[in-house]
Amino acid sequence: MQLADLFELSLIGRRDDIALDYEGADGVLATLTFGDIDARRNRLTHLLAHRGLKPGDRLALHLANRVEYIDLLLACVTLGVVLVPINVLYREREIAHIIADAEPIAVVTSDSASASALFPGDVTLWDVDELTHSAATQPKARVRAALDGDAPALIVYTSGTTGRAKGAVLSHNNLLTNGTSLVTCWRITSDDRYLAVLPLFHVHGLANGLVTWLISGCRMRLAERFDVTRAAVLFEEFQPTLFFGVPTMYVRLLELAPDLARRIGARMRLFVCGSAPLPASTLESFRDRFGHVILERYGMSETLMNLSNPYEGERRPGTVGFPLPGISARIVDAELRDVSDGETGELLVRGPNVFRGYWCRPEADAEAFTKDAWFRTGDLAQRAHDGYFTLCGRRSDLIISGGFNIYPREIEELLLEENGVREAVVVGIPDTRRGELPIAYLVTDDALDVAALDASCRRQLASFKVPRAFIRVDAFPRTALGKVQKHLLPAWTPS
């Protein structure tokens, strides 16, 4: 069974049900049934085939959230064309690398005239409005290509902080496995109402959001982006039961008035958080304000979802739960030997959710997989005696000071418990005597009381873990999904 076949459960089986609410270019709210979406998909599939696209060809998308993103995903999945999402925040250099690496047949943009300055001169640009207009004259007859489940569906470029981004090739089976697992484990049904604010160029919004929506047949409200003021209106108007977000979104939602938070929480069924660690303090504040314990899970571009706290049972603060169905997880030391429960090591995963490799990067594949085919996530983790996994940061973020291992997240969680500290990031800086020293960057409500923070850390941490400096910043540099870009933090040197 292909991914497109699974979508037919909604596109055919629920064709008369309302599928999607979205704002059109004129700002007017529009509604489509699953049958409407099916017809749009079929017409666009015929148009792409008429333009010469065939299974295995790449088509890049440089688009913000809009209904045509859904049309293009469905048409590409149906035809066997490989979709290459491009982050709309990327600039010329980043885009040029993706285009040169993936070699797409064309790039679909929202304004080909103004967007042309971002793209290499030899790339073919298709304006999404022109594409939609041309597709309207195509037949509605259903198309089905003979595709293997291992055929590539997406090439998602990772936002690695070192070197050029690599394209993770995700298959139809990867997406199918991920979608059915989440629908089952998180009890997503056609009765749900999903508020979609995550960018569709990222796997969180695309592979989790759109795919589970299409499999379950729930109703979705698509927003262009997350804005806390606008989100308040959307929660009131659409009255969702399901929301996928990242930690920064939940921090902003805590700014809503208590009575509004209670109304939102009363209608909601499930809040899910991922893409970056959720501070335990945020989870607890959100529970008190909205009456819901956020379900935290863990995934990657290369693997989609790996671990999840349970829908029923304890959603333990600071953890990412257990492996999802069919997925195995291990924690190993530097020699790839299993460590005991409670010890920190690198998290390895294996299962039908894991990609086959990077696009045209065999040397990167060799580094990413062990000889017995376990994927090295690069994330440090611990497993509790009862099986809950806790992330401890990236392997590359590990600070080694005087021979002692320092895990930044432990210090960050402590700092977030201090009054007035809204966000905290701990990094290591070179030191001639100890190798590295930890320093802390903080976003705070008021002026920074360095002496108080230092005293608090010294009371609760080993001396080698105490940050040697506390630096206040107005905001952290982040990716579109809210991950802190530590390499872009302001430089610090001892006085």
Question: What residues are paired with 257 via a beta bridge?
Answer: none
Determine the 3-state secondary structure of 197 from DSSP: coil
| Dist. CA 145–CA 299, nearest whole Å | 30
Using one digit for the tens of pLDDT, what is the confidence trace for 210-257?
999 999 999 999 999 999 889 889 999 999 999 999 888 998 999 999
Residue 374 pLDDT: 97
Below-70 pLDDT ranges, the chain:
112-115, 159-163, 403, 495
Residue 465 DSSP symbol: G
Cα dihedral sign for 76, 170, 98, 427?
positive
Tell me which residue has tokens 């913000």: 64
Which pairing describes strands 399-401 and 242-245: parallel, antiparallel, or unpaired?
unpaired
Predicted local confidence at residue 163, as pLDDT: 58
- Which candidate, 489, 431, 485, 491, places its Cα nearest to that of 94? 485
The pLDDT tens digits for 76-85 are 999 999 999 9
pLDDT of residue 161: 42
Residue ranges in 268-396 assigned as alpha helix (H): 280-290, 362-368
Q: What is the pLDDT of residue 348?
A: 98
Decide: helix, strand or coil at residue 92: helix
DSSP E strand boundaries for 102-208: 106-109, 125-127, 152-157, 167-171, 193-196
- Cα gap 89→118, rounded to integer Å: 11
Q: Could you give the CA distance from residue 148 to residue 282 in angstroms, rounded to a whole number?
A: 43
pLDDT of the residue at 495? 67
Cα dist from 280 to 269, 294, 315, 340, 444, whole Å: 20, 10, 11, 24, 17
pTM for the model:
0.85
pLDDT of residue 162: 45
Task: Report the greatest alpha carbon distance in the chain.
Answer: 72
Task: Give ∠ CA 340-342-343 in degrees, rounded to 5.
Answer: 65
Cα 268 from Cα 256, distance rounded (Å) = 15
Place of tokens 């959720």: 278
* H or E, element range at 304: strand 304-308
β-strand pairing of 470-472 with 435-444: parallel
Residue 376 corresponds to which tokens in the numbers above?
A: 């090295």
